[in-house]
Structure 1
Amino acid sequence: MSTEEGPVEHVDRWNLSLQGMPVTRISTEIRLVLSLHSDWEIAVEAPVRLSHGPVHVGPSVLLNPETESIAPALELLGARVLSAVAFKSGTLRLVFDTGHHLTCSPDPSFEAWQVMGPAGWRIVSLPGGGLAVWTDSGASAS
């Protein structure tokens, strides 16, 4: 697992350093929550696209946590994260070892998703785009 250093900032994105972590629990409460090993959690409150196969080519389904139409997300239970990227535009993209891709775009009116982890890490998609990032040393906006 590669989260000892935490997420890594680049010019246009944050690499979340979740590689190799399995999805250990999936829950819904008006939002879709993926719990990962090592106390990381991904909470999605906006519609999210789940696809399988090559990005932008494979079949996809739109999951809407608000209406609890998230049954296809259950296929992610036990899947390991290959890549987790929070783009500074506000989009989140996760790639799993099962060939699944989860992509959540920012919402114009509310926080579409957030990633929370140990040591005070929290990355949130802001309404209309952009990110807010908290670490144990405070908050910043991207």
Structure 2
Amino acid sequence: MSAAKDPAEHEDRWVLNLRGLRVVKISIDFRLTLGLEEEWEVVLEAPAQLTAGSLRTNPGLPLKPETQDVAAALPLFGATILSAVAFKSGGLRMVFDSGAHLSSSADASFEAWQITGPGGWRFVSLPGGDLGVWSGSRTG
């Protein structure tokens, strides 16, 4: 399982190395939280999209955490992550073994999402389209 490795920075993105981790908890308040194995957590606070396959053929289902309109995300429980990428423009893309794709764009005024994990790792989609990155040994 690659999650034992630290996330890897590239020119325009961070590869989060969550491959192989399962969604073991889903909680809903004004946010949608996906609890993953190995103490990782994905929190969505702004609208996101859940699709299966290509966006051209399947526009997907909207997830609206602030109104608890997130029922479409419930089948992610037990799903395994195949890919998780945080873009430096503030976007997030996750792909699951079920074929589901979770996408979130940056929000103009609010933090759209955040991901936290062991070692003090924290990724935050900052208002206006930027990515904040922190770890126990690095600030970015």
Q: Which segment drifts farther, 3-12 or 109-118?
A: 3-12
Deviation above 6 Å: which 4+ runs of structure 1?
Answer: none
What is the aligned partner in structure 2 of residue 3 from structure 1? Answer: 3
The letter of the residue matching 1:122 is R
> What's the secondary structure of 1:21's corresponding residue?
coil
CA–CA distance in structure 1, aligned partners of residues 55 and 21 of structure 2? 21
Secondary structure in 2 matching 1:66 = helix
Structure 2: distance between partners of 1:53 and 1:23 = 20
| Residue 110 (structure 2) aligns with | 110
TM-score by structure 1 length?
Answer: 0.95
Do the aligned partners of 1:111 and 1:127 also contact (CA within 8 Å) in 2?
yes
Q: Note the residue ranges of structure 2 that are not aligned, 5 or more in a row.
A: none
Does the 8 Å contact 1:104/1:113 carry over to 2? yes
Give the corresponding residue for 2:78: 78
Secondary structure in 2 aligned to 1:83?
A: strand
**CA contact under 8 A between 1:55 and 1:101: conserved in structure 2?**
no
Query: Which residue is equivalent to 2:28?
Result: 28
Q: Deviation of residue 57 (structure 1)?
A: 2.6
Aligned-residue RMSD, C-alpha: 1.0
What number of residue pairs does the alignment pair up?
140
Offset of residue 3 of structure 1: 1.7
| Alpha-carbon distance, 1:5 to partner | 1.9
Structure 2 matches for 1:26-105, cutoff 5 A? 26-105=26-105
Compute the displacement of 1:59 (Å). 4.2
Q: CA deviation at 1:63?
A: 0.7
Deviation at 1:122, TM superposition (A): 0.2
Structure 1 residues 38 and 56: CA distance shift in structure 2, 3 A: farther
TM-score, normalization: structure 2? Answer: 0.97
Q: Deviations over 1:58-81 (max 9, x none)?
A: 240111000000001001000000
- Give the structure with the higher percent helix: 2
Structure 1 position 56, deviation (Å):
4.0
